[in-house]
Amino acid sequence: MRTSFIRLAAATLLVAAGAANASGNLVVNGSFEAPLINTAWTPLGAVPGWTSSAGGNSAFEIQTDGAHGGYGGFNSHAADGQQYLELNTDQLTTVKQDVSTAGLASYTLSFAYSGRPDTANGATSSMNVYWGGQLLNASPLIGQVNNSWSVFTLSGLHAAGASTELKFESLGPVSSPTYGSYLDNVSVTAAVPEPETYAMMLLGLGIVGFVARRKKTA
């Protein structure tokens, strides 16, 4: 009976290790590559994985980078792929996604952001980011406007439940609400033990089983 238990535990650990390491990015469409727009930019009523505070056919604005046909005022390269999201359409917008966090304990959030270089009168595009309703940035995030991306990374985040809301809130520019921050390469990954950790756990179970068998024999 004890040997069967150890074998079952070992098999369970191996299955768990495989499932955890296969989880990858928990954010759906984090690089805004869907749908492929094939134009310099376009307003959309829906984008897979995300919801917007704006409604109608202009809830989202997806842009193509300059290397793939975007306008000169757009970034020359997306942070990932060839498309990215511009917060704000014809108004300040907030986009969010409920990330599946069931059964996993600790997470790392990462995303790239940039300011729009041709904002009217040089007004600043800025935003906040929330995880499970908690504001993560100490001050508003203001991206560079020199055709480059800044990267925000934060580890040690915890789940709010079976799903956790990830939200990006545009703060401006209020004076030019059709211009907004660029957002791309959004990812949430689970912190899981390395395979070596599982191996050590299996070794420990094996030692327990060996000692138990020796005591029973004695």
Query: Integer distance in angstroms from the first to the last C-alpha of the chain?
Result: 18
**In sequence order, what are the residues at sequence separation of 6 or more whose Cβ sits closer than 8 angstroms to the Cβ of residue 71?**
40, 41
Superfamily of domain 30-191: Galactose-binding domain-like (2.60.120.260)
Q: What is the pLDDT of residues 18-35, one digit of tens each?
A: 344 445 999 999 999 999
Q: What is the pLDDT of residues 171-190, one digit of tens each?
A: 999 999 999 999 999 999 99
Where exactly are the structural domains of the chain? 1-23+193-218, 30-191
Q: What is the pLDDT of residues 148-178, one digit of tens each?
A: 999 999 999 999 999 999 999 999 999 999 9
In 3D space, the residue among 108, 99, 97, 101 whose CA is nearest the CA of residue 162 turns out to be 101
Q: Per-10-residue mean pLDDT for the chain, 218 residues long? A: 46 40 82 97 97 96 96 92 96 97 90 92 93 98 94 96 97 93 98 55 48 53
Q: pLDDT over 90 for what percent of the chain?
A: 69
Burial class (CB in 10 A: 0-12, 13-18, 19+), 39: exposed
CA 150 to chain centre: 15
